[in-house]
Amino acid sequence: MCLNQITTDRSNNKLFWHLFIVIVVFTRNQVKSSSNTNEYFTSVTGLETLMKTEQTLLIDLKQYVIETRQQINLLEKEISKISKEHDLASENLENYLANPVNAYKLIKRLMIDWEVYEEHIAKVIDFLKLIDERRNNLSFPELEDFHESALALIRLQKTYQLTVPDVAAGKLNGIKYGYDMTWTDCLVLGQQLFHMKAYNQTKIWLQESVKRLQQDNDRFQLFPAGFLQESTENLIRLGDMDTALHLYNVMETNHKEENKIKEMMQSTEILEEPDNDDENILQIPYHKSAEFELYEKVCRGEVTQTPKEQRDLRCYYVYENCPFCRLAPFKVEDLNLDPEVKVFHNILSEKAIETIKALASPHLIRSTVFGSDGVGAEKHNYRISKNAWLPYDSHSYLIGMLRDIHDITGLDMTYSEQLQVANYGLGGHYEPHFDFFKHQLPEEVGNRISTAIFYLSDIEQGGATAFPFLKIAVKPLKGSVLFWYNLHRSLHGDYRTKHGACPVLKGSKWIANVWTHERRQEFIRPCALHQDHEISLPYHTIK
């Protein structure tokens, strides 16, 4: 290899390590100083904000690389000149310094030139100052976002039974989206899962990392040698000695390092029960229940209604509740007859949808759930989304939504809650729940008699509204409305209406919820002559 090539390689290597150190310093400082509470993982709109942050940082980094290359080229020329002087001086130092010209140049370099070199090197400090400014003015994720993004991937894997190689390859249910995950992506995810005590998943993701490292081992030069040490130790703890050794084989370790690994294997304590995933991932025992398993099967489309159960379902027009509707009737599709679950088609226009989203976006906050005692609101990762509440009189489109529900169902919409607009985030979901109140009821207006979900977007994969007991999974259809009654005619809660929002696999899910209460519905949906709620009681205790 020629001398120029060696110099270029060294220059590139120095540049890469220089940038790596800068990025590491920036990242560590960012994590320590981050103080926002935006919970970006909870909505796609939040993730869009982070994408804009990275776009700005990328522009800054590109400019920094260009300027750094220029600085390095200039400094290498200076290094070459000074090296020649030192080579000449090494032949006879006294004779070299006896030359007044050489003596002057030495003093001048130390007085003037080295200050100039320092100014060039100070560009690094300027870049870090710029990053500090960006950090104060742009949006950055917190450790919670990092933690929850890993949980979201595992949730999607489990719900839709995705394999690790497919997810790492960017394949979701056989469809390729974007680029593959790198070996470092898989390695870091494996480390996160180990700290969450999801040991089975840890091994698979670290094994995938090793596989990808073999295919992209040149990039390993960007990372310090100790980058893999923690993963190796964790693999040993999990009893996966082969993969642990493989990590070091990829690094082309020498015999001395191999002995060090063997010593590590002898000294590292192996976990007693590494095959049992911890409750931190599964959250609650409910996730292991037959009911939750049924919910996941409905989300996957493995459990559906039989032809016999669908026999009496029909599609029809509705126009009885408004004279104008005879000219433009509503399209209604039955999904279930008892309890009533229906879809109203082609309700919202594209313009109305975009207006509703624009009204809600500035007010989106983390969605909450009722506390275990039915009082107060709590954040919980079994509901991952952001929502906003909008008064209906804030726009004519919102008033029109109430009018449409009335015209189709005949319900009095006077006592409807404000419109709730929601956007689901990374693996966004809402586990099975009831919409009616089981604890304290709003005394003046009564319980929620009905739910209407306006779908404001289509979804490529996942994101269905699933009713596990009814074996129905309704895929979001932009502009349509999913409607059902939460209460029996006796006004008891109908436990068969338990439903959940399946995790969003691919897409941005937007919905708007209209909850209408029982007050003033007495003559519109009157009680039957007999109690009709006993039929749903067995579903209250299913687990």
Residue 542: which pLDDT band, with cuts at 50, 70 and 90? low
Q: Report the C-alpha gap between 33 and 30 in whole angstroms.
A: 5
The better pLDDT of the pair 19, 303 is held by 303
Q: Report the C-alpha gap between 424 and 182 in whole angstroms.
A: 26
Q: What domain range is 186 assigned to?
A: 144-267
Asked whether residue 26 is domain-assigned, the answer is no
The pLDDT score that the predictor gives to residue 52 is 92
Looking at residues 112-138, what average pLDDT do you find?
81
| CATH at residue 303 | 2.60.120.620
CB contact at 8 A, 212 and 184: no
Asked whether residue 53 is domain-assigned, the answer is yes
Q: Is the pLDDT of residue 375 over 80?
A: no
| CATH at residue 217 | 1.25.40.10
- Two tokens at 351? 């313009």
CB contact at 8 A, 192 and 202: no
Claim to verify: residue 348 and residue 221 sit in the same structural domain? no
Q: Among 82-86, 95-99, 450-454, 520-524, whose mean pLDDT is lowest?
A: 95-99
Q: Is the pLDDT of residue 328 over 50?
A: yes
Q: Is the pLDDT of residue 487 over 50?
A: yes
Asked whether residue 12 is domain-assigned, the answer is no
Q: Residue 501 carries which side chain, given as an amino acid letter?
A: A
Claim to verify: residue 228 and residue 368 sit in the same structural domain? no
Q: Is the pLDDT of residue 232 over 50?
A: yes
The pLDDT score that the predictor gives to residue 236 is 86
Residue 37: which pLDDT band, with cuts at 50, 70 and 90? low
The pLDDT score that the predictor gives to residue 521 is 95
The pLDDT score that the predictor gives to residue 30 is 46
Asked whether residue 27 is domain-assigned, the answer is no
Q: What is the number of H-type helices and E-type strands within the chain?
A: 17, 19
Would you tell me how many other CB atoms lie within 10 Å of the CB of residue 443?
7
Q: Where are the alpha helices (DSSP H) in 92-198?
A: 93-98, 100-108, 114-121, 123-137, 143-160, 164-168, 183-195
Claim to verify: residue 495 and residue 443 sit in the same structural domain? yes
Q: Among 187-196, 221-230, 526-535, whose mean pLDDT is lowest?
A: 221-230
In this structure, the dihedral spanned by the alpha carbons of residues 286, 289, 290 and 293, taken in order and rounded to 10 degrees, is 70
Looking at residues 1-30, what average pLDDT do you find?
43
Claim to verify: residue 370 and residue 496 sit in the same structural domain? yes
Residue 24: which pLDDT band, with cuts at 50, 70 and 90? very low
Claim to verify: residue 440 and residue 302 sit in the same structural domain? yes
Q: Is the pLDDT of residue 107 over 80?
A: yes
The pLDDT score that the predictor gives to residue 35 is 43
The pLDDT score that the predictor gives to residue 16 is 45
Asked whether residue 485 is domain-assigned, the answer is yes
Q: What percent of the chain has pLDDT over 90?
A: 48
Q: Is the pLDDT of residue 33 over 50?
A: no
Q: How many degrees, rounded to 5, is the angle at CA 371 between CA 287 and CA 289?
A: 15
Claim to verify: residue 404 and residue 517 sit in the same structural domain? yes
Q: What are phi and psi of 474, to 5 degrees?
A: -100, 115
Q: Residue 500 carries which side chain, given as an amino acid letter?
A: G
- Two tokens at 399? 């008033």
The pLDDT score that the predictor gives to residue 219 is 59
Q: Is the pLDDT of residue 114 over 70?
A: yes
Claim to verify: residue 119 and residue 162 sit in the same structural domain? no
Claim to verify: residue 465 and residue 435 sit in the same structural domain? yes
- The β-bridge partners of 5 are none
Looking at residues 278-290, what average pLDDT do you find?
69
Looking at residues 254-268, what average pLDDT do you find?
60
The pLDDT score that the predictor gives to residue 275 is 53
The pLDDT score that the predictor gives to residue 221 is 62
Claim to verify: residue 309 and residue 403 sit in the same structural domain? yes
Looking at residues 2-7, what average pLDDT do you find?
36
Q: Is the pLDDT of residue 256 over 90?
A: no
Claim to verify: residue 110 and residue 169 sit in the same structural domain? no
The pLDDT score that the predictor gives to residue 5 is 39
Looking at residues 129-148, what average pLDDT do you find?
87
For 154-164, write each residue's pLDDT tens digit: 999 999 999 99
Asked whether residue 277 is domain-assigned, the answer is no
Q: Is the pLDDT of residue 79 over 50?
A: yes
Average pLDDT, the chain: 85
What's the structural domain count of the chain?
Answer: 3
For 271-283, write each residue's pLDDT tens digit: 765 555 544 454 5
Residue 380: which pLDDT band, with cuts at 50, 70 and 90? confident
For 214-225, write each residue's pLDDT tens digit: 777 655 666 666
The better pLDDT of the pair 233, 346 is held by 346
Asked whether residue 319 is domain-assigned, the answer is yes
Q: Is the pLDDT of residue 17 over 50?
A: no
Asked whether residue 502 is domain-assigned, the answer is yes
Residue-wise burial string across 235-261, b where 16 or more C-beta atoms lie within 10 A, e elsewhere? bbbbebeebbbbbbeeeebeeeeeeeb
Taking Cα atoms as reference points, which of 157, 114, 393 lies closest to residue 277?
A: 157
Q: Kindly write down the DSSP assignment for every residue of 481-533, as one continuous string.
A: EEEEE-B-TTS-B-GGG-EEEPPEEES--EEEEEEEESTT-TTTSPPPSS---
Looking at residues 511-519, what average pLDDT do you find?
97
Q: What percent of the chain has pLDDT over 70?
A: 83
The pLDDT score that the predictor gives to residue 543 is 57
Q: Report the C-alpha gap between 18 and 12 in whole angstroms.
A: 10
Residue 68: which pLDDT band, with cuts at 50, 70 and 90? confident
Claim to verify: residue 514 and residue 417 sit in the same structural domain? yes
The better pLDDT of the pair 128, 151 is held by 151
Q: Among 264-278, 319-333, 427-441, 502-516, whose mean pLDDT is lowest?
A: 264-278
Claim to verify: residue 121 and residue 158 sit in the same structural domain? no
Residue-wise burial string across 491-508, b where 16 or more C-beta atoms lie within 10 A, e elsewhere? bbbbbbbbbbbbbbbebb
Q: Is the pLDDT of residue 22 over 50?
A: no
Residue 206: which pLDDT band, with cuts at 50, 70 and 90? very high
